[in-house]
Amino acid sequence: MTYIPAKDRYDNMAYRKCGNSGLKLSAFSLGLWHNFGYNSNFENSRNLIKTAFDNGITHFDLANNYGPPPGSSEECLGRILKLDFKDYRDEMIISSKAGYTMWDGPYGDWGSKKYLVSSLDQSLKRMDLEYVDIFYHHRPDPETPLEETMAALSLMVQQGKALYVGLSNYRPEEAEKAIKLLKEMGTPCLIHQPKYSMFERWVEDGLLDLLGKEQVGCIPFSPLAQGLLTDKYLNGIPSDSRVATSGQFLNADHITPERVGKIKLLNAMAQERGQKLAQMALAWILRDQRITTVLIGSSKPEQILDSIKALDNINFTKEELNKIDKILR
C-alpha cells in the first residue's frame, strides 16, 4: 500500500531557525542510533519514520556507525526512503556523521580527510542519496590538524555531497576554533550536536554562549539521559529496559538511590506541570532559544507522539527553574 503522509503534518509542530541560516528545523528530530539496525524489526523502523513525518518531524539523524552492525541504520533508512518517501525527499532533512571507528586500519576512524571523504561516499551509497543535508564531524581528533578536518567538511559542501556541515561532541575551545576555520573557508558551521540533559549540563559552561554568539544552531542528543529522565526507573530496573538488556551506555551503577530520589522529585514536579517526566525534561531543554531542535530516540511510535506533547508547555517560571536546579545539585 502506498504511503500518503498526513495532510496536517505541519500544523502542530514548531520550527526554529537554525543559527544564522535560512534553514528551519522541527523542534524534535528523530535519531536513528538505536532501533534501525539489522537486529531491529524493519516494519517497526518504517512505522517510526512515518509517525515522525506525519507529525511534522522533518529531520532524521544518522551516523556512519549506527546499527548494529555499523552502517545498517543508513541502509535501513535507504530502504524506507525508496519504499515510502521517494516523493518527499525535499521535505526531509537527512544528516549523517563520521568520526568513530567504522572500518579496520588507520583510515577508518577519527578526522583525516581520507576517512571523512570515504565515509560520506559510503553513507550516500547505503542510503542511495545524492547528498545529505547536514554532515557532521562526530568527535574531535587529537592527532589530525583541525584545518585538515574542517577543509574536508568544506570540500563536501563544494562537491555537493552535503548542503551544510556541523560538529558533534566538540568542547567550547575546540568548537570555537573549528567554527572560526569553517567561516574563513566560506562554509559556515550550521549546527553543533552535544550531549545535554538535566543530568549532563557541561554545555552551560561556555558552549551555549559560544553558539549563541556565533549564531550556530544546537541539537542536543541524549536529552533523557538514556531513559533515566523518564518514569521507567522510578521503581527499580524493568527487565525490558536498556540497562537490563545492553548496559552498554547506561548500566545499573548509574541508578543509585540518590539519583532515583532526584528522579522522583522531578517526576512530582512534572506532574504539577501536567506533564510526564520525559516531557518536562524535553521542555526544559527547548525553553532556551539557543536550542534549535532536540534529538529523540524511540523504539515505539507512541513514544514519538508522547515526546511531541512536550511542546504544549515549554515555559518555566523562575521558581520552577530554581527548584529544578536545587533538586539536581
40-97 pLDDT, tens per residue? 999 999 999 999 999 999 999 999 999 999 999 999 999 999 999 999 999 999 999 9
Give yes or no for a contact between 109 and 142, defined as CB atoms under 8 angstroms apart: no
**pLDDT of 35:** 97
* Residue 191 forms part of a structural domain: yes
Please give the Cα distance from 327 to 263 (Å, whole number). Answer: 9
Give yes or no for a contact between 109 and 141, defined as CB atoms under 8 angstroms apart: no
Residues β-bridged to residue 108: none
Percent of all residues in the chain with a pLDDT value above 90, rounded to a whole number: 91
Tens digit of pLDDT for each residue in 158-187? 999 999 999 999 999 999 999 999 999 999
199-210: average pLDDT: 98
> Out of 2-16, 236-250, 296-310, which region has the weakest mean confidence (pLDDT)?
236-250
Please give the Cα distance from 321 to 284 (Å, whole number). Answer: 9
* Residue 156 forms part of a structural domain: yes
* Residue 55 forms part of a structural domain: yes
* Residue 7 forms part of a structural domain: no
pTM above 0.75, yes or no: yes
**pLDDT of 126:** 98
* Residue 237 forms part of a structural domain: no
φ, ψ of residue 17 in degrees (nearest 5): -65, 135
Count H helices, E strands: the chain?
11, 10
> Out of 127-141, 183-197, 228-242, which region has the weakest mean confidence (pLDDT)?
228-242
Provide the mean pLDDT of the chain: 95
Domain that holds residue 95: 15-231+278-316
pLDDT category of residue 1 using cuts at 50, 70 and 90: confident
Question: In this model, does residue 247 exceed pLDDT 60?
Answer: no
Percent of all residues in the chain with a pLDDT value above 70, rounded to a whole number: 95
> Out of 30-44, 231-245, 272-286, which region has the weakest mean confidence (pLDDT)?
231-245
SS3 38: coil
| Number of domains observed in the structure of the chain | 1
Please give the Cα distance from 25 to 211 (Å, whole number). Answer: 16
pLDDT category of residue 254 using cuts at 50, 70 and 90: confident
Please give the Cα distance from 146 to 150 (Å, whole number). Answer: 6
Please give the Cα distance from 193 to 213 (Å, whole number). Answer: 16
CATH number of the domain residue 23 falls in: 3.20.20.100
Tens digit of pLDDT for each residue in 122-166? 999 999 999 999 999 999 999 999 999 999 999 999 999 999 999
E-assigned strand segments in 32-131: 59-61, 93-98
Task: Please report, to the nearest 10 degrees, the dihedral formed by the alpha carbons of residues 110, 70, 294, 151 taken in order.
Answer: 30
